[in-house]
Amino acid sequence: AQLQWYPGHMAKAQREIEGRLKLVDMVIELVDARAPFSSRNHTFDRLLKNKPRLVIMTKKDLADPACTQTWIQKFEERGYKAIAVDLKHFKDTNKIIQYCLEILKDKRENEARKGLKPRAIRAMIVGVPNVGKSTLINALAKRKATVTGNKPGVTKAQQIIRVNKDFELFDTPGVLPPKYDDLEIARNVALIGSIKRDILPLDELFIYALSYLNKNYPDALKNRYQLTFDENDNWVLDAYEQIAKVRHLPLLKGEIDYERVQDLFFKDLSDGVFGGITWEKANV
Ligand code: G4P
């Protein structure tokens, strides 16, 4: 497939984030628990490297819990503190602040030893689109947040929110462009909704997803569509037919309405009806 992907976006995002990085003590990087590799932009690792980092795996409720566990281990092996959350039902924002304080504990203790007055730590939330950045900022900010703004180097459009005496954050996130120049990554970011799905031919994406589910989560297809298959010559057409039949989709000019089957499948996927699904394993 021909992937359209614009390096210009990357340069712009890089400049924007570089400017703001100077103003923060640490970065909170959000990744999607359903595709923790593909939903990161690895080009930005170099840029973010010299900042302490908390990795938050969002959409834990939509991911495979066993995979989420191994991904957390993987991030921790790489030296990042990592946690998984369901931001839709997340109340304990204080826990995130505690993790941040812990990550910066040594630095703050050093400053205290030097006789510096303790000050609030300042964090910036970054991540690719749709990973939950705004949801988290809103959750953190709603606790009696006051906008302090007008600090040097902070433009009007980006203000600093004082969440409590120990913690401040930018009220707008750093948006990392998803880097989907690789087909496998493009598939994963399309399946989790970081980019528009139609960046790829939808029939190919549909076939890829069905095949992946069949190998890794066969019960999901069985429960939803009474669909089981071995990948024989005809499995794709059979699968379209079975889904159309089970879900009573009307025919289109006497034929299966293939697009409608795909749309229905992708809607089921977005609605999370298959249970926890993770599209990439930590050991790959
Ligand atoms: P962004 O700023 O990074 O682009 O993401 P944003 O917070 O706008 O979140 C994108 C979508 O993902 C939102 O859904 C949001 O509710 C949902 N979301 C964020 N975190 C989680 C999570 O942990 N679990 C689940 N299940 N969903 C999450 P939306 O479709 O835009 O709106 P709505 O579904 O809330 O109505």
Residue 144: the pLDDT is 40
For residues 259 and 167, membership in a common domain is answered with no
Strand ranges, E, within 6-120: 26-32, 53-58, 81-84
Residue 234: the pLDDT is 92
Distance 69 CA to ligand 1 centre (A): 21
Q: How far apart are CA 90 and CA 137, in angstroms?
A: 12
Question: Could you tell me the CA-to-CA distances from 284 to 92, 114, 281 in Å, in that order?
Answer: 32, 45, 6
For residues 144 and 248, membership in a common domain is answered with no
By most ligand atoms within 8 Å of CB, the mutation choice from 28, 130, 136, 269 for ligand 1 is 130
Q: How far apart are CA 121 and CA 105, in angstroms?
A: 10
For residues 97 and 223, membership in a common domain is answered with no
Classify residue 234: in a domain, yes or no: yes
Distance 129 CA to ligand 1 centre (A): 10
Asked if residues 209 and 191 have their Cβ atoms less than 8 Å apart, the reply is yes
Classify residue 63: in a domain, yes or no: yes
Of 160, 175, 190, the residue at which a domain comes to its end is 175
In which domain, by residue range, is 105 found?
Answer: 7-175
Q: How far apart are CA 184 and CA 279, in angstroms?
A: 10
Side-chain half-sphere of 256: how many Cα atoms within 13 Å? 16
Distance 207 CA to ligand 1 centre (A): 26
How many domains is the chain partitioned into structurally?
A: 2
What ipTM goes with this model? Answer: 0.97
174 is in an annotated binding site: yes
Q: How far apart are CA 119 and CA 226, in angstroms?
A: 59
Ligand 1 pocket, CB under 6 A: 58-59, 61-62, 86-88, 127, 129-135
DSSP for 98-158, written as a single string: HHHHHHTHHHHHHHHHTTPPP--EEEEEEESTTSSHHHHHHHHHTTT-EE----TT--TTS
132 is in an annotated binding site: yes
134 is in an annotated binding site: yes
For residues 154 and 216, membership in a common domain is answered with no
- Its pTM stands at 0.90
For residues 89 and 207, membership in a common domain is answered with no
Residue 4: the pLDDT is 56
Distance 31 CA to ligand 1 centre (A): 12
What CATH number is given to the structural domain containing 240?
Answer: 1.10.1580.10
Residue 30: the pLDDT is 97
194 is in an annotated binding site: no
For residues 162 and 225, membership in a common domain is answered with no
For atom 11 of ligand 1, the residue with the nearest CA is 130
For residues 118 and 245, membership in a common domain is answered with no
Side-chain half-sphere of 149: how many Cα atoms within 13 Å? 10
Residue 46: the pLDDT is 83
Sequential pLDDT tens for the chain (284 residues): 445 556 677 788 888 888 899 999 999 999 999 999 999 988 888 888 889 999 999 999 999 999 999 999 999 999 999 999 999 998 888 999 999 999 999 999 999 999 998 889 999 999 999 999 999 999 998 744 444 444 544 445 678 999 999 999 998 899 888 878 889 999 999 999 888 888 889 999 999 999 999 999 999 999 999 999 999 889 999 999 999 999 999 999 999 999 999 999 999 999 999 999 999 999 74
